[in-house]
Amino acid sequence: MDLSGVRDITVKAGEDFSIHVPFMAFPQPAAFWFANDSIIDDSDTRVHKQLTMNSASLVVKNSQRSDGGQYRLQLKNPAGFDTATLHVRVLDRPHPPENLHAS
């Protein structure tokens, strides 16, 4: 993998962000994306994954504070595996305290 262009990302809540990781591998690897050590599945319609012959990409639409954290791409083929890791920070306006009770 060419990690020279892979950098940590800071984005404002509501904005899209994308992660693009170029690689060279034969045979074509399988790509597994993780967010905070949980595999990213296809159930979230805001998240789009793409794998080509020489790159893997992840796009998150309309980012939310909960989208922040560590993202990891693992590429795996019969010859072995490689991993790229980066951090995404989603900036959001603080919310006022809720459900306060005087005692």
CATH number of the domain within which 26 lies: 2.60.40.10
> Given this model, what pLDDT does residue 11 score?
97
**Count of structural domains, the chain:** 1
Q: Could you tell me the residue range of the domain that residue 40 belongs to?
A: 9-91
Rounded Cα distance between 28 and 53, Å, is 7
Question: What is the identity of the amino acid at 39?
Answer: I
> Given this model, what pLDDT does residue 42 score?
85
> Given this model, what pLDDT does residue 2 score?
61
Question: What is the identity of the amino acid at 6?
Answer: V
Residue 38 lies in a domain: yes
> Given this model, what pLDDT does residue 95 score?
74
| pTM of structure | 0.84
Provide the residue-wise pLDDT of the chain in tens; the chain has 103 residues.
Answer: 666 668 899 999 999 999 999 999 999 999 999 999 999 988 989 999 999 999 999 999 999 999 999 999 999 999 999 999 999 999 987 777 878 787 7
